[in-house]
Amino acid sequence: MVLAASVRGGRFLLLDPTSATIGPKRFFLGGGTSLRGFREDGVLPADRRAALHEDRASCSATANPAGCTPAATVLASGREVPSEGGEVFTLGKVELRFPFPSVPSLDTAVFLEAGNLWLQQASYRPLELRYTAGTGIRYGTPIGPLAFDLGFNLFPDQLVNEPTVQVHFNIGLF
* pLDDT interval class at 138 (50, 70, 90): very high
Q: How many domains does the chain contain in total?
A: 1
**Confidence at residue 65, expressed as pLDDT on a 0 to 100 scale:** 73
pLDDT, tens digit, for every residue of 56-77? 988 888 777 777 899 998 998 8
Q: State the residue range of the domain holding 159.
A: 2-171
For residue 96, the domain's CATH number is 2.40.160.50
Instruction: Output the DSSP codes for the chain.
Output: -EEEEEEEEEE---SSTT----GGGSB---STTS-TTS-TT-PPPHHHHHHHHHHHHHHHH-SSGGGS-HHHHHHHTTPPPPP--BSEEEEEEEEEEEE-SS-TTEEEEEEEEEEEEESSGGG--TT--EEEEEEEEEEEETTEEEEEEEEEESS--GGGT--SEEEEEEES--
pLDDT, tens digit, for every residue of 115-125? 999 999 999 99
